Amino acid sequence: MEISVSDAKAKLTNLIARAEAGEEIVVTRHGQAAARIVPAAKPKLTVAERRAILQEIVASAQRNMTPGPSYRELMDDMYDENGLPK
């Protein structure tokens, strides 16, 4: 992203947040690049990487699920033949 010095002064907080998220901001003066705002440390994981990890966890859980008792079986254990609680 490129932004002029005058615009950058007004939006510095937002620009810092974007840099922390991994974006590189080029600050220009009279149309020429004057400085760069970059993250001090590279983010550990990107949003896409975190999403991929979560999707793998969900897929793994779905593969390993075992069916439990049916609703009817649960009801049979709780109520007698007249429909009264046991």
Domain ranges across the chain? 1-81
pTM for the whole thing?
0.48
Contact status, residue 38 vs residue 24, Cβ threshold 8 Å: yes
Question: Using CA atoms, how far apart are residues 78 and 10, in angstroms rounded to an integer?
Answer: 67
Contact status, residue 26 vs residue 36, Cβ threshold 8 Å: yes
- pLDDT per position as a tens digit, 10-50: 999 999 999 988 899 999 999 999 999 998 887 678 889 99
Distances (CA, A) of 65 to 51, 60, 61, 68, 73: 21, 9, 6, 9, 19
Looking at domain 1-81, its CATH class is: alpha beta
Decide the pairing of beta strands 2-4 and 32-37.
unpaired
